[in-house]
Amino acid sequence: MADKIATRQAYGEALVELGKEHDNLVVMDADLSGSTKTAMFAKEFPERFFNMGIAEQNMYGAAAGLALSGKIVCASTFAMFATGRAFEVIRNSIGYTGANVKVCASHAGITVGEDGASHQTFEDIALMRTIPGMTVVNPSDAVATKKLLRQIVEMDGPCYFRVGRAAVPVFYGEDDEITLGKGNLIRDGKDVTIIATGIMVSAAYDAAVMLAEEGIDARVIDIHTIKPIDEEIIIKAAEETGAIVTAEEHGVIGGLGDAVAQVVVKEHPCRMAMVGQQDTFGESGKPDQLLAKYNMTADDIAEVARKVL
């Protein structure tokens, strides 16, 4: 693993690259462009950037209108305000109409840190998964962010794209294949499978290294596309390892764990456990301290894997 880069930073850089290629790409923000990194696009393409102010519902309604007029729209704010404050508009104006809007939400999960419980959303993936036809993507590092953003911009239809505040390890190479809707095998193993998403992928890999020192051979899978989920890679893991641990910076209710469990219970039941926010709100603190307090570190993933075995 190389440097640490926040996925929101990679998102901002990728928007500029895509803006040069797509004349009909429009970017919107709800007065948080410095934090979401859409300010980079605003500086390069001011005529295609709209700061809608602290009015998330209005922004997503306007985004739907622009999309239905032929534009590709990436509309950004914090995940809490996008999926929480504007859920009804996203559901009815974007989801129901199939508008070509990418809800690109940053500052998701516990690593929002000092902003505290009001800004730490653990419900966003669950909410977006419930909207018919909504693609849900949670990239794990800067390389995956850029590759997957390009794919969702070039696909037609609504998408929820989740990025984070904190800098995270970059472990994908520029030549690695990362395809929308297909999970990535990060490390093979035969004893237990750790299926992770977002920033928890690097923690899952670290957990597998720890387990290897004890003679436990852990497979690690990155599920960056939570909907539609890659059923094939999950079923194969259930059949070949017989035990699955999911890891996500999101509530265990309605997130990756639930999505994987739906596949497993239908196709190949096996032992399962979930690492994530355990039906609690967060609090203000340093990201690393909060991950440790809420049992979402590599050590915690390894411990849950041992228990599943």
Q: Which of 169, 194, 216 is the last residue in one of the domains?
A: 169
Whether 162 has a pLDDT exceeding 90, the answer reads yes
Question: pLDDT tens for residues 48-92?
Answer: 999 999 999 999 999 999 999 999 999 999 999 999 999 999 999
The answer to whether residue 177 sits within a structural domain is: no
Domains held by the chain: number: 2
Residue 214 and residue 81 in one domain: no
Counting beta carbons within 10 angstroms of the beta carbon of residue 69, is it exposed (0 to 12), middle (13 to 18) or buried (19 or more)?
Answer: exposed
pLDDT at 309: 93
The answer to whether residue 191 sits within a structural domain is: yes
Q: Which of 169, 198, 216 is the last residue in one of the domains?
A: 169
Q: Is 240 a catalytic residue?
A: no
pLDDT at 7: 93
Whether 3 has a pLDDT exceeding 90, the answer reads no
Find the CATH number of the domain harbouring 36: 3.40.50.970
Residues facing 272 on adjacent strands: 244
3-state DSSP of 233-290? HHHHHHHHHCEEEEEEEEECCCCHHHHHHHHHHHHCCCEEEEEEECCCCCCCCCHHHH
Two structure tokens written together for 90? 């996203």
Q: 58: helix, coil or strand?
A: helix
Question: Under 8 Å CB-to-CB from 297, ≥6 apart: which residues?
Answer: 203, 291
Looking at residues 201-222, what average pLDDT do you find?
97
Say if pTM beats, i.e. exceeds, 0.85. Answer: yes
Question: pLDDT tens for residues 231-285?
Answer: 999 999 999 999 999 999 999 999 999 999 999 999 999 999 999 999 999 999 9
Residue 164 and residue 189 in one domain: no
The answer to whether residue 179 sits within a structural domain is: no
Torsion, CA 261, CA 259, CA 284, CA 303, rounded to 10: 30
Task: Supply the range of the domain harboring residue 226.
Answer: 184-308
What is the C-alpha to C-alpha distance for residues 123 and 62, in angstroms, rounded to an integer? 24
Q: Determine the distance from the C-alpha atom of residue 202 to the mean position of all C-alpha atoms in its chain, rounded to a whole number.
A: 13
> Catalytic pick from 13, 56, 123, 249?
56
Question: pLDDT tens for residues 277-306?
Answer: 999 999 999 999 999 999 999 999 999 999
| Average pLDDT along the chain | 96
Whether 2 has a pLDDT exceeding 80, the answer reads no
- For the chain, what percent of residues have pLDDT higher than 90? 97
